[in-house]
Structure 1
Amino acid sequence: MATEKFIMVSLEDEKAKKIANVISNDTSRKILEFLSDNEAAENDIAEKLDLPASTVHYNIQHLLEQDLIEVKDFYWSEKGNKVNIYTVAKKLIVIAPKSMKIKTKLKNILPVALLALAASGAIHLYTKLSTKPLAFGGGMEKMVATQEAIAPRMLEVAQKAVETAAPNYALWFLTGSFFAIATYVFITSIRKEKK
């Protein structure tokens, strides 16, 4: 059983021709329409649609081959044969021109990039909210108590120094994520060129 929610084919792809042939067949369309409301075995489909069993079997095989239907379950007949129960594969069929390869790659990578961006934002917020002014031990507090006149300014300078000195984890995470995505795109494009 396929787990993808769509079938994407190019106009130049042989699979597009096969899908078009299956969908243009009246019997296949009747079977698809019947299975959209019911789950049934081949013999039930033949009986309900008043079609020969061999015709139903032939069309079922082509529908399965193109992932338009799938085996939902099975049972054992009285003769001990495995009988499949079919249902419509709930998939979108997308037929695109061949030049859509880059858009397809981007469509596959976009959710990962958005997730990386969201995670980076969450890390940034967490870092900002959890960063407390670093006290340099108990001595800093004593110094502030004794030198009240310059203490607010020193504390402000110390906080700024700590904030600027601390690494920006969110930026590093985002940079690493985009580097990993770019590496993935580069490697997959090289592999496809070799094929």
Structure 2
Amino acid sequence: MEFETISVDDEKAKELAQILINEKSLAILRLLQEKTLSLSEIARELDLPLSTVSYHIDKMIKVGLVEVVGKKYGKRLQEVKLYHASPRPILLLPRKISVKDRILRTFENIQIISLSIAGLIAYGVYKFSKLLLTPSSNVQDLTKTVTETVARAAIKEVSTTPAFQKPVTHTILPYIGIVTFVMFFLVSTHWLVKRNL
């Protein structure tokens, strides 16, 4: 989930504190949690001057408590913004986190998730390919019986025809698992980065 981070040293923290101790700001915020409204609709419902509502809305947008969610056209065909309480939580931090630290922490989370997903999928592919590519004893017995009956009649043809398919050895199976792991790691990392996780 995406969240807004504010350091206590930041000016936004002071503005957030002012909003939280102001009754008018809290009334506007409560109303916008339930409905999506324009400035004039908020002023009408709370019986407040339009300038007061505009002032408090601007402060709440700056802090991240309220966001513009749409537009509509008013009576004079002018665009009117619609406001709603933001669903993103706000996290107050005792110190300012640098952008570099934030990016590194996000990248570490993505790497851990990607490695887990890629490892599980590679293990599954390894087991599945081992199951498919390794002949079982029942299949060998059936093949052996069929081969013995047919082989006597066609032994000359079998010896003269070239072998088109070599038997799969167990040495290729780990490589299949490794290639699968790398591919799924790269794909899942790319997907998680795009989702801003």
CA distance in 2, matches of 1:11, 1:108: 25
CA distance in 1, matches of 2:70, 2:56: 19
Tell me how far 1:22 sits from its aligned partner.
2.8
Give the structure-1-normalised TM-score.
0.63
Q: Which stretch has the larger CA shift, 81-90 or 102-111?
A: 102-111
1:163 maps onto 2:179 in alignment = no
The corresponding residue for 1:115 is 114
- From 67, 78, 82, the equivalent of 1:81 is 78
Unaligned runs of 5+ in 1: 135-140, 147-158, 182-195
Distance 2:5 2:96 in 1: 13
Paired residue for 1:21? 18
Structure number with the bigger relative contact order (C-alpha 8 A, sep ≥ 6) is 2
Q: Which residue of 1 aligns with 2:43?
A: 46
Change (3 A) 1:123 1:81: same
Write the distance in 2 (CA, Å) between the matches of 1:25 and 1:110. Answer: 38
Task: Give the direction of change, closer, same or farther, for the CA distance of 1:45–1:99 in structure 2 (3 Å limit).
Answer: closer
The amino acid across from 2:127 in the alignment is K
Is residue 36–residue 87 contact of structure 1 (8 Å, CA) maintained in 2?
yes
Contact 1:124 1:169 in 2 (8 A): no
**Aligned residues of 1:121 and 1:170 also touching (Cα < 8 A):** no
Give the conservation status (yes or no) of the 8 Å contact 1:117–1:174: no
Deviation (angstroms), 1:90: 0.6
Change (3 A) 1:90 1:96: same
- Alignment: residue pair count: 155
* Shift of residue 82, structure 1, vs aligned partner: 1.2
In 2, Cα distance between the equivalents of 1:42 and 1:103? 35
- Report the secondary structure of 2:37's partner residue: coil
What is the deviation of 1:129?
1.2
Q: Which residue of 1 aligns with 2:134?
A: 133
Aligned residue for 1:98, secondary structure, equals coil
Provide the alpha-carbon RMSD of the alignment: 3.3
Identity %, equivalent residues: 24
Q: Give the superposition deviation at 1:74.
A: 1.7
